[in-house]
Amino acid sequence: RTYAGKWPTWVAPGTGRPVLRSARCNSTRWAVVTSIFDPTASIKQLARMAGWCTVVVGDLKGPQRGEYMQAASVVHLSAAEQRELAERWRTVSHLPWSSFGRKNLG
């Protein structure tokens, strides 16, 4: 799918602020993963899948920027972005770092 219009901005309830400032992918099919590693072959394969978007929920360890940010179909949530989300939603602060459970942010 492609979308030529303006990217819709979802505003967090009660904050009046957009959740993601620069979402680049538009699809009804999303894969959500968490990782402390550089992009693996599996992540790169997901990034190449036509019609799919991938959210990589990072952690304190591992890349915060870099190759993940170059793929148009991949949204990488860095630790800093997750901390920003935690300021808006108390639920986020209950998800432990260094845990597979952080995937729930995606």
Cα angle: 77, vertex 63, 105; to 5 degrees: 25
CATH code: domain of residue 48: 3.30.160
pLDDT surpassing 80 at residue 103: yes
Average pLDDT value for residue range 26-30:
85
pLDDT, tens digit, for every residue of 70-84? 778 888 888 988 898
The mean per-residue pLDDT over the stretch 50-66 comes to 86
pLDDT band for 32, please (50, 70, 90 cuts).
very high
Question: Does the residue 13 lie in any domain?
Answer: no
The total domain count for the chain is: 1
Among 13-22, 28-37, 40-49, 67-76, the range scoring the smallest mean pLDDT is 13-22
Kindly state whether residue 77 falls inside one of the protein's structural domains: yes
DSSP characters for 37-74?
SSPPHHHHHHHHSTT-EEEEE--SSS-SSSGGGG-TTE
d(CA 67, CA 29): 22
